[in-house]
Structure 1
Amino acid sequence: MTETDLTSVLLVEDNPSDARLIEEYMTEQPWSDTDTDGPVIERSDRIEEAVTASFDEIDIILLDLGLPDSTGLDTLDEMVAVCDGTPVVVLTGLDDERVGAEAVEHGAQDYLVKDDLSPRLLRQTLRYAIERERRQQELQQRNTELALLNQVVRHDIRNDVTVILSWGDTLTAHVDDDGSEYLDRMLNAGKHITNITETVGDFLDVLEGNSDPELRPIDLEGVLINEVEKARSAHDDVTIALTVNHKGRLQVAATELLSSVFRNLLNNAVTHNDKPEPEITVHVEVLAETVTVDVADNGPGVLDGQKDEIFGRGEMGLESSGSGIGLYLVDTLVDMYDGTVVLTDNDPEGSVFTVQLQRYRN
C-alpha cells in the first residue's frame, strides 16, 4: 500500500469540536512527500445522511457511535450494512477495550479513543484499516474461487468413481477366485474416494458457515441407524452392532452435519482395521444432561503418544500425523456442539472413540 492510497474520508461526527480536531490532525502534516493537502474529508453529523454517501468514492469511514439519530453498535451495524466493503474505524469516547472488541466483531476494522488521538496514530490506524480490508476482500475472493473449484473437482471425481464402481460390479461375475480379492480392494478404494469427497464437502460447509452455529434438536438415534446401515452396505465383510439404552425420542444439540461425525468414525474404524473379520460396536449411553456414544473396533489400536495427534490437534493441524481430514472434522464439529471426543484403548484390542454430546432441552 502506498501513502497516497488514502485520498478521501467520510467523517461521521456530530460534535463540532471533535470534528474540527480530527480535520486538523488529518492536515497537520503531509501524508506523503508530494501531498500537502491530505485526504479530502466529507463530513456528516447524522447516520441518516451518512448512509446515503457514494461509498465507491470513499476510502475509509470514521464513525462516531454516539449520534443524535443513532447510538451504540446499532450505528455501526447500520453503516456496515450499506458501506459496500468500505472499511470503518469507530470513534469512541470510552477508553474501554470491550467496546473496541465488540465494534470489531460487528464489522469495524479498528477503533480509536478520542482522548488518545494524535496525528500519527490517526494516520497509522486509517492506513492499516484500509490495508486489512483490502487483504480480507482478496482472501474472500480467493476462497470463493477455491470453493467453486473444489465443488467442480469433487463433482467430477464422484462421477468418474461411480463409473469405475459400476464397471467393477459388472466384472464381479467374470473374475475368478484369485482375482476377486483384488477386485474387492479396487471397489473398496473407489468407495473410500467417494467418502473422502463427502467429507471434504462437509468440512467446507463448516468453514463457510458461522463459527458459532445455532444448535437445534437432532434425532441422534435416527442419525446412528442411518450411518450404521450405510456402513454395512458399503462394507459387507464388517460386523457392526448398534445398541441404545434409551426408549423414546433422543435429541441432542447439534446441526445436520452431526451425521458426518459418525460417518467418519465408522469409516475410520473400517479403513484402519487389519483383522480378517472387522468388528465394530456402537453403544449409546443416555444420562440426564448428556449422551455418550462409544464407537469401538477390534483393530490395531493407537499408541498413547498419538491419541491426541490423530485428531489433527496442536500446532500442525491438518498436517499432523493423524488419520487425515475425517477425524479433524469430527473433532471440529463436536467442539462446535459443546461436546467432547476422546480416544481410548478397547479391551482386549482396538480403539474406542467416545463422543459426548449435550441433550437438547427446550
Structure 2
Amino acid sequence: MTETSSLDVLLLEDNPDEAVLVERVVRGSGAIESRGQDAIVNVGEWHHAVSLEEAVDVLGRTSVDIVLSDLMVPDSRGVDTIATLVGHAPTVPIIALTSHDETVAGTQTIEAGAQDYIAKGQVESELVGRAIRYAIQRKQHELELVEANRRLALLNRIIGHDVQREMSVAVGRAGQLGTQMDADDTEAFESLNDALENVVKFTDAAADVVTLVEQGAEDALESRSIDAIVEAEVDRFTREHPTVEFSVDGTESEATVLATPMLGSVFEHLFAEAIRHHDHEHPRPHVAIADDDESVTVTIQGEGVALSDGQEAFLNAQGTPPEAARRMRTGLYLATTAIEQLGGTISVTPGPEIVVALERSLESDE
C-alpha cells in the first residue's frame, strides 16, 4: 500500500521569477515520489523568504522539512548564507541553489553544512525531487551518527572514568581488608580479590573497545612500523609480567602497516590471551613477524589453555553459539574489532596460536 506524507519547504530566494520557477518545479505534478519505496511525499506548506533575516524568522517560528536557499540574497553573500541557516536550524537539511558559474561555491556550501547544491540552470523536476529525497536521508543519517557519538562519549566517560575509579577504590579497600583477615577467611578473600582484579581488567578492555568504536578506524590512521609496535608491547608486557620470557623473530623486515595507536593495545591483549591459565613457572610465548609485498603477518604462539569451540568459532567468523558468545573474553573481542576495522584478519587455533594479518602500507617500500 502506498503511503502519503507532506513535506514543508522553505525557499530563500529574492528573485521573484526564480522563486516562481523553483516552486513550480518542486511541486511538479503535486508529488515527489520516493522511488523504490511505497511512498509519495506531497509538498505541504510552502514558505518563501526574500532575505536571510526573513528566513531565520520563519525557522524560528515554523517547523520545516527542507530548505532551498540561494547563496546571494540582499543581506547575505555566499556560503555565509548557508552557515547562518545551519546555525539556526541544525537538524534541517539544506540544498543550496547556485548560479551557473558557482560550482566551487557549491562545493563550499557542503563544507558549510548543506547536504547538496543545484545549479539554477539545472533546476528540473526529477533532479530536484531526487536531491530533496537524498538530502533528507543524508541529514537523518548525520543526526543518527551525532546521537550515536554522543552516547558513545557518555559510555566512554562512565566506563573510562566513573567505573574505573570506583573499581580502583574497591581493590584498594580489599587490600586493606586482606591484612585483617582470619586464616579461615583467606581462601574466600583471595577468590574475591581475584574477581575484583578480573573486573578491573575487563573494565579496562571495555574502555578500549568503546574508545575504538568512538574514534573510528580512520582516526589517527598513519603508516606505522609493525616491528616497533610489537617490540614496544613485548617490552611493556615483560616489565608488567616479569616471569614471562618472550622470543621474537623477524623484527628486521622494516615493514609498515596503516594503523592507529590502538594497535599496540591489541597486541597487549593478545599476549595476555597467549599465556592465560598457563601451568608453567616461566611461560615462553613466541612471536614471529613475516611480510611479503602485500601483507604483514604476526603469529603469536602461546602456552595457555585451548579455546572453547565457541570462542574459536567466534574468532574465525564461523558463528558463535549464544552461550559461548556470552563467555567471550573482552580482550579477544577488542582485538577482533580493532583488526577488522583496520581491514585485517585474525584467526585463533588451539594452543593457542593467534595469527594477525594486516595490509602492508605502501610507504613500506619508500
What's the TM-score, normalizing by structure 2? Answer: 0.66
Asked whether the 8 Å contact 2:206–2:330 carries over to 1, the reply is yes
| Other-structure match for 1:40 | 48
**Shift of the alpha carbon at 1:220?**
1.9
**Shift of the alpha carbon at 1:323?**
1.5
In the alignment, which of 76, 82, 89 is matched to residue 116 of structure 2? 89
Which structure 2 residues correspond to residues 117-266 of structure 1 after superposition, within 5 A?
117=126, 122=129, 126=132, 129-130=135-136, 133-134=139-140, 136-137=142-143, 140-141=146-147, 143-172=149-178, 175=181, 179-213=185-219, 214-218=221-225, 219-229=228-238, 232=241, 239-246=243-250, 252-253=256-257, 254-266=259-271
Counterpart of 2:94, as a letter, is I
Counterpart of 1:301, as a letter, is A
**Shift of the alpha carbon at 1:355?**
1.7
Alignment partners' CA distance in 2, 1:6 and 1:281: 65
Q: Structure 1 residues 68, 242: CA separation in 2 closer, same or farther (over 3 Å shift)?
A: same
In the alignment, structure 1 residue 62 sits paired with structure 2 residue 87 = no
Alignment partners' CA distance in 2, 1:279 and 1:60: 59
Alignment partners' CA distance in 2, 1:6 and 1:343: 55
Asked whether the 8 Å contact 2:287–2:300 carries over to 1, the reply is yes
Asked whether the 8 Å contact 2:287–2:298 carries over to 1, the reply is yes
| Other-structure match for 1:100 | none
Alignment partners' CA distance in 1, 2:282 and 2:13: 68
Q: Structure 1 residues 248, 351: CA separation in 2 closer, same or farther (over 3 Å shift)?
A: closer
Alignment partners' CA distance in 1, 2:41 and 2:210: 47
SS at match of 1:294: strand
Asked whether the 8 Å contact 2:285–2:303 carries over to 1, the reply is no
Asked whether the 8 Å contact 2:96–2:118 carries over to 1, the reply is yes
SS at match of 1:212: coil
| Other-structure match for 2:65 | none
**Shift of the alpha carbon at 1:153?**
4.3
In the TM superposition, what whole-angstrom CA distance separates every residue of 1:60-117 from its partner, at most 9, and x where no partner exists?
433468841434xx733x113323xxx5234489xxxxxxxxxxxxxxxxxxx97771
Asked whether the 8 Å contact 1:46–1:69 carries over to 2, the reply is no
In the alignment, structure 1 residue 79 sits paired with structure 2 residue 109 = yes
Counterpart of 2:348, as a letter, is L
Counterpart of 1:192, as a letter, is N
Alignment partners' CA distance in 2, 1:159 and 1:6: 50
Q: Structure 1 residues 278, 225: CA separation in 2 closer, same or farther (over 3 Å shift)?
A: closer
In the alignment, which of 2, 8, 12 is matched to residue 6 of structure 1? 8
Asked whether the 8 Å contact 2:156–2:211 carries over to 1, the reply is no
| Other-structure match for 1:23 | 23
Alignment partners' CA distance in 2, 1:256 and 1:116: 49
**Shift of the alpha carbon at 1:330?**
1.0
| Other-structure match for 2:36 | none
**Shift of the alpha carbon at 1:246?**
4.3
Alignment partners' CA distance in 2, 1:185 and 1:267: 20
**Structure 1 portions without partners, runs of 5+:** 94-112, 234-238
In the TM superposition, what whole-angstrom CA distance separates every residue of 1:118-159 from its partner, at most 9, and x where no partner exists?
7xx81x763674365246425523541452244134422222
In the alignment, structure 1 residue 284 sits paired with structure 2 residue 310 = no
| Other-structure match for 1:356 | 357
Counterpart of 1:333, as a letter, is A
Alignment partners' CA distance in 1, 2:79 and 2:103: 12
Asked whether the 8 Å contact 1:240–1:280 carries over to 2, the reply is yes
Sequence identity percentage:
19
SS at match of 1:298: coil
**Shift of the alpha carbon at 1:353?**
0.9
Q: Structure 1 residues 91, 275: CA separation in 2 closer, same or farther (over 3 Å shift)?
A: farther
**Structure 2 portions without partners, runs of 5+:** 32-39, 51-68
Moved more, 244-253 or 149-158: 244-253
SS at match of 2:11: strand
Asked whether the 8 Å contact 2:288–2:299 carries over to 1, the reply is yes
Number of equivalent positions: 319
SS at match of 2:331: helix
What's the TM-score, normalizing by structure 1? Answer: 0.67
